[in-house]
Chains A and B, each alone.
Chain A
């Protein structure tokens, strides 16, 4: 019998048993909650008069529709009354069910997928759920972290379990090392470009190889974050020294003897040498170039040195039609060089790329420069209040502000435009977020997904530019 993958190990360590209907139950160690997908779940508990199974396995923060200006005003700063109702409802539910929340005025507030790891609430070997598909982010810590729907949120609240059948194993092996100017974001976009948005459906991805282990935790989170964009519900990276160093001394991470005991277990969280995978993708890191999406699905991506594809040359009719449709929506001609795509706005933020390392990479591109006059708005939105403070302490905020960027408060912001930060109809936005779907950043908005360095350089340059060797 072959050995176990990392996913097998974490799954087995949480397998409660099989339910009467034949479905598996797995135990959930941590549920992260935010204002958008939790209200109906809390309501469901109340209607059936069910308690929370374990209040200490939940952690909440509002992120999706909090405004990123006037934070000091707290709830009064939310002008949209319906959004306000959601944030207030989360406050009330957390009080009523005694769930720990970093509320809108708490400096620890931020995007759930930034906050969990930052607090040490995310730990290796955990099972984690959140009513948000980018929960896969936490897999960077060798956790089995998955996005769930609202009914599942309620189910976990009431039973501490998730009804699930085991996924298959998918290995993404990246040999070599990423060149200077090429980042985790470029790597994951290149992976999605190869796999397609459904390529890993039904699988859990494990990212492996030298290029992955060389990444910081921030980089690994960026990788795992977009697993869902390749169809995988979860992505994982094995535990190593980088993982342990990141977690040590975080507010929620174990101390003293408990740490030693945990560490001994965590060090076993890697795939066995003889583990077998159902599918594999091999990539050479040196072949990856900075990536820019040109269409309306993350798989519609190209290298900075390439051009927008021509649907007329596609043999698959479904793909041809999808490409034609995307180019029409994006108002792009086939054959346009990526560097000639017009740009109106730049957004650096989101659970994919709003951590300190992302802001450092962006700041390095803009230091001493100015946002191009043709760019109507360039936003920097830190992933959490703590990231914001750190960036201010490091002098990054000053670099951004003097270059003409807006320096905002933590939240999802322009990643999904459920809050006041939106891309107006027809405008093109270079964005470090994870989805370029139609209307994602605002009605009729046009999104180009890129790394923080590429976004920052594009702001200065007024269009996309190859950041390898750009200064």
Chain B
């Protein structure tokens, strides 16, 4: 996983509540057995007017010019401004992969769905929770183009004029993002602890270990 310390980029405002992972990456693209190749299909049913399928490339598609991600001023944006409960629905990690591959490094919202939030940290996409009124302000500013600097170490989102908004993040998750360390390796570093637990568990609930 890539580590994350600081990032400066353009913000694009996606003004919808309850954006679910089916919208972020529709199910027809989940048939792939790979981790890559999803960026072209991010928000597929919103970005394009025709029905997409795996293998299609954006230049052969009918672009939906009304969708904010297609607006010329938001090309190259790397920070997604979103509304409440972003990433709800299906647990598909493909949603995070698609956002990253498209070019997003940060998603800012008043709240996130749990599984999506967790999936972000497995991949180095930083989800930031800010208060509703601050988000509202950022939405208004973003319409005319808004550059933000996200500093994970300092836990701030800074505007070009110097205004900074602090955000909360669990220390464990922050550490993980900063180090970019392989999650499995980190857990396996405590292998004995797991083995010890497992032995006791086997003794107290032996029926859980009786399958052949």
Give me the interface of A with B, judged by CB distance under 8 Å: 13-14, 16-17, 19-23, 25, 27, 29, 36-37, 39-40, 43, 48, 50, 56, 64-65, 80, 82-83, 85-86, 89, 121, 123, 125-126, 131-133, 147-152, 154-155, 158-161, 163-165, 167, 197-198, 201-202, 228, 231, 233, 252, 254, 258-259, 261-262, 265, 297, 318-319, 321-322, 325, 416-418, 425, 435, 437-440, 443-444
Contact = CB atoms under 8 A, between A and B. Distances in A.
B132 to A, nearest CB: 9
Of listed A22, A151, A197, A321, residue having the most chain B CB within 10 A = A151
B47 interface: no
A58 to B, nearest CB: 10
Given A322-B16, A325-B16, A418-B27, A29 B208 contact: yes
B187 to A, nearest CB: 5
Interface residues of B, number: 65
12 contacts: A14-B201, A21-B171, A22-B171, A36-B31, A37-B92, A82-B32, A123-B208, A151-B93, A152-B119, A158-B188, A165-B172, A167-B114
A37 B184 contact: no
B198 A160 contact: yes
B12 to A, nearest CB: 18
B159 interface: no
Contacts of B31: 36, 65, 80, 82-83, 85-86, 418
B188 A133 contact: no
A133 B84 contact: no
B90 interface: yes
B23 A437 contact: yes
Contacts of A123: 207-208
A265 B45 CA distance: 49
Contact of B205 (A43, A228, A265): A265
A27 B17 contact: no
A14 B198 CA distance: 9
B201 A151 contact: no
B123 interface: yes
Contacts of A160: 194, 198
Interface of B: 15-18, 20, 22-23, 26-28, 30-35, 45, 51, 54, 83-85, 88-94, 96, 111, 113-115, 118-119, 122-123, 170-173, 175-176, 183-184, 186-190, 193-194, 197-198, 201, 204-212
A258 to B, nearest CB: 5
A437 B118 contact: no
A50 B85 contact: no
A265 B89 CA distance: 34
A122 B93 CA distance: 24
A85 B96 CA distance: 23
Contacts of A416: 27
B172 A149 contact: no
Given A29-B208, A43-B33, A318-B83, 19 more contacts: A13-B204, A19-B187, A20-B189, A21-B172, A36-B30, A86-B33, A147-B91, A150-B93, A152-B122, A159-B184, A161-B194, A164-B118, A197-B18, A202-B114, A233-B115, A252-B211, A258-B210, A321-B15, A425-B51
A318 B89 contact: no
A123 B206 CA distance: 13
9 closest pairs, A vs B, by CB? A151-B122, A149-B93, A39-B33, A22-B172, A254-B207, A149-B119, A198-B85, A147-B91, A23-B172
Contacts of A131: 91
Given A37-B91, A150-B93, A165-B172, A27 B197 contact: yes
Contacts of A418: 27-28, 30-31
Nearest to A45: B184
A306 B32 CA distance: 42
B33 A155 contact: no
Contacts of B209: 56
B170 A165 contact: yes
A164 B118 CA distance: 9
Contact of B186 (A21, A82, A85): A21
Contact of A231 (B33, B83, B113): B113
Nearest to B94: A150
B90 A133 contact: yes
A125 B204 CA distance: 12
B187 A439 contact: no
Contact of A322 (B17, B28, B193, B208): B17
Given A147-B115, A160-B198, A201-B85, A262 B186 contact: no
Nearest to A16: B197
Given A25-B194, A201-B111, A439-B26, A125 B172 contact: no
A50 B182 CA distance: 13
